[in-house]
Amino acid sequence: MLAAMLSNDILTIDEVAKYLRVSERTVYEWAQKGEIPAGKIGTAWRFKRIEIERWVNDRLTGNLAASPAPTARIISADRILFLNLRTKRDVLVSLAENLAKCPQVKNRQELTTEILRRDELMSTAIGRGIAIPHVRLSSVTDLVVSVGINKTDIKDFQTLDDEPVRLVIMIAAAHNQHAYYLQTLSFFSSRLKDPQLRRSILGARKAEEVYRLLDTHIV
């Protein structure tokens, strides 16, 4: 079913609700009010995958009021990985396993499964060679981040600008951290628009160097 949905690029209310982690009623009301890109086929609402991706990216790069906590709270040098992997799946699994070492993550298998499921439903690549896979789970007690710098292009992320992904920021948050989770997503996606910062991160050789770059530019 999922493969057929992706090949047709059309999503149902149920599929959009699962991706956005909101109720079907919320998606229905957004569609009725014109707050989310949607169209009707007969009496049923349908959503183009590419339009939903753009809508999500627009929201992530918007100006949310509060800043996330200092970098030191959500990331550390041991959660910055230099990778040389070829596929999206391998990168996501590596970062999920790294995050699962954090005491805030109580269920490694659930984290890995949900990260992979979410990116199968809709790509978390946001353009400019960046992907920000993210989940909220009841088995996570507080928001944590892992960063992957891949030395080769990851070509099987579905990107809006056709630029292969090299920089992956993985975010796992508690289920009740909705606002903080969105703020962190917005913060990383907006700050990493800076091409010099991206080049510096991709050119770094040590995790401590990447941490300093993020600490300087993001806090």
- State which fold the 2-60 domain adopts: Molybdopterin biosynthesis moea protein, domain 2 (3.90.105)
Does the pLDDT value for residue 116 go beyond 60? yes
Rounded-to-integer distance, Cα 174 and Cα 193, Å: 26
Would you place residue 64 in the very low, low, confident or very high pLDDT band (cuts 50, 70, 90)?
very low
- Do the beta carbons of residue 211 and residue 147 sit within 8 Å? no
Q: Mean of the per-residue pLDDT values for the chain?
A: 83
Ranges in the chain annotated CATH 3.40.930.10: 71-218
State yes or no: pLDDT of 45 exceeds 70: yes
How many other CB atoms are there within 10 angstroms of residue 32's CB atom? Answer: 11
- Among 27-31, 99-103, 143-147, 179-183, which is the least confidently predicted range? 179-183
Burial of 161 (0-12, 13-18, 19+ CB in 10 A): exposed
Domain 71-218 has CATH 3.30.450.20: no
Please, where in the chain does CATH 3.90.105 lie?
Answer: 2-60
What mean pLDDT comes out for the span 19-25?
A: 79
Q: What's the whole-number mean pLDDT along residues 179-194? A: 83
Contact criterion met (CB below 8 Å) for 151 and 181: no
Residue 78: other Cβ atoms inside 10 A: 12
Mean pLDDT of 200-210: 94
**28-to-54, 155, 180, 195 alpha-carbon distances in Å:** 19, 34, 25, 38
- Residue 60 confidence class, pLDDT cut points 50, 70, 90: low
Q: Is the pLDDT of residue 164 over 60?
A: yes
